Amino acid sequence: MMVVRGRADFAEPHASFAARACRQPAISLQLGNLSNPGPDMQPRHRLNALIDLWLDEDIGAGDLTAALMIDADAQARFVMQAREPLVLAGAEISAQVFLRCDAGIVITPLAKDGTRLQRGDAIMELRGPARSLLTAERTALNIVQHLSGIATATARYVDEIRGMPARLIDTRKTTPGLRSLEKYAVRCGGGANHRLGLDGGVLIKDNHLAVTGDIATAIAKARAGAPLLTKIEVECDTLQQVAEALAARADVILIDNMSLDDMREAVRLVAGRIPLEASGGVRLETIRAIAATGVDFISTSRITQAATAPDIGLDEL
């Protein structure tokens, strides 16, 4: 690897990296210039806390290899690039990982989240202390690969129903601790978000009904206690339940694991009065047929739970 001699100072263990980075002037990644809202829709300090946790996990007491192999004052330049076609997500978060490790790293963004990249397309250029760059490399690549995998999977599903009225939405089946980032990646891929959490709306499912009783009673209880503008959605497994939810004035009906014929009949029963969400059995090869039934939304956990991380690498310049 070619390095350029220059400024030093990266011999300290990671325990002080975060504190040192936080003492630096505020770092702006210009998150507002994306077509999607910011990467995590939460305060910056929470994202920094996540990044510090990731770095602590990987670095421990210090990067032994970098400390032994790389001179403290060595400088390096790298380019992060796609090694296969993908939809980019998490590039700015990846950049923040490098900066949390060492605020002296200089990053030149070359691609925005939400962009479709081909093999060899550059994502960012980085230069600065070689030890810092190599220490942060794996953590930074892990998050951009993970989120880009979700964005890429989402885009494939979106492409299957392009031009049709139905919209693809995600679920709460996400990695603990990474939900807001994974939902951001879904948006980068062209999908939309369902509830961000349990406090984002009322969704009455079969297990709620098993405890509460019938649909009408459950909706009445929810309506009596929920804030005025809160949406009440009901999961229905049968057409009879669809009729009950409609009569009880649900705001949204989720038709779960229904046949295509039953989906079409549910669409006929509802007749556009409220939105219909289809879920269960949604795969890349089935989503277009589901959309053709006339439902408004299609939700699947596969875009977050089954996404494959694409190959993204850091190469020396």
Give catalytic residue positions: 138, 173, 205, 235, 256
Contact residues for 204 (Cβ-Cβ < 8 A; gap 6+): 212, 215, 218, 219, 222, 232, 233, 234, 235
**Contact status, residue 316 vs residue 299, Cβ threshold 8 Å:** no
Q: Please count the other Cβ atoms lying within 10 Å of the Cβ belonging to residue 111.
A: 17
**Contact status, residue 39 vs residue 185, Cβ threshold 8 Å:** no
Taking the C-alpha atoms of residue 137 and residue 250, their distance in angstroms, rounded to an integer, is 49
**Residue written as tokens 């596969």?**
302
Query: Amino acid identity of 210?
Result: A
Contact residues for 236 (Cβ-Cβ < 8 A; gap 6+): 215, 242, 244, 245, 253, 254, 255, 256, 266
**Contact status, residue 233 vs residue 247, Cβ threshold 8 Å:** no
**Contact status, residue 297 vs residue 267, Cβ threshold 8 Å:** no
Q: What sign does the dihedral 286-289-292-293 (CA atoms) show?
A: negative
Q: Cα Rg for the chain, rounded, in angstroms?
A: 23
The C-alpha angle with vertex 259 and arms to 254 and 263, in degrees rounded to 5, equals: 50
